[in-house]
Structure 1
């Protein structure tokens, strides 16, 4: 990654994670941040060029720049790392094609605010919507630990008939729900995924609920893999008897719906409030 691209990444990180974070109101900048974060991660894991492998430093730099321009994005989980470079290029091209179509319409209709959630210390009602800063800082932290993989059926089955099921939680979608599916209880919280007919296009959502408390996030369905569909829980959100090993006041866990067939549970560092 050359100096100009690295400077752009640093500026986007400040907009996403700094004290004056405002990137949640700029979908195009959020998508660009995902692209550059992935390019940096891939650079770090690329083997160095050697005289015997037919590669040169210039060729490696050109390939890295090409991947940034093409818009390849996403996190490499262990299974994903075994994909071929050709597979990544095809997947990245399809993701960018979808992203361009959505970003054009989203930019003019970006939400006015995206509050950072805080620990839920007492009874409350309604849904606390996860901010982009909270979600991206966990999904793009490549030092997280995978605690659990929750399998999905791939077709998002076990749907609930919404009009007849008062137990379906409220999701922070921009339109009415079209389906919802419970995934079980983890660390004292019910975990749900759902789909909605959003104001601009279909959305996918993930939500954790405990009694009257709920924390959720919804993103455009076509951009689920790039948009950090994460619900984080802080140390204070999990009762002592339910805390997994490694969850401390300086860490948090997060439910990340990234792949079609699983929700991944991550353990990572907590981030300071802006």
Structure 2
């Protein structure tokens, strides 16, 4: 098995972490005790991470096969959108605003508003074989998928929409430009995490170089030299304040990858 050294201060979207040995998955034979990473766009790598693994470039591909769109789980979102635009394939325009690889998007059922990666999913491939969408328990930013996803098949329909592309671009125009892991918390039913964070006075709250953005309160941003410890302290502060003042238990979208917090 191949080991790759990855510096997560450079590799992760929030730009926090150190250099770590990561096992690259080449086939169905992988260790269960390792934690699976994608493109590290929604994770916060701690100072004491568990053993890590990720899919190798072997699973970075996209093709049309048997009237289905077949995508390897290591395929980045930008490549998916470019392929769909070139081949006039509909319903993947929203992926242009979702950083990361397909496997990570599937694992958390990523999306924008009513557009979710599971909408047109047919099946996934894991070491257990093909699993139909109907066999998976999924919902808002949630699935019960436990095994590594290697590939997925999607229903194929024509009509790539440039108008939708522009709509999704505008939907993300209010997001901060600093390094972040995307939305820190899921929106509770009937409300918005950003509104709650602002309501408890923590919009713009900063520790060191970490801040709950003054542009969008639900984004934990790194102004350059952010520390893992400051990020975790801010996350816990928001959780406690919102629970105390509103009785709402915010669920994290950001995943803390550290033995102390897992």
State the TM-score, normalized to the length of structure 2: 0.27
Say which structure is richer in helix.
Answer: 1
State the TM-score, normalized to the length of structure 1: 0.26
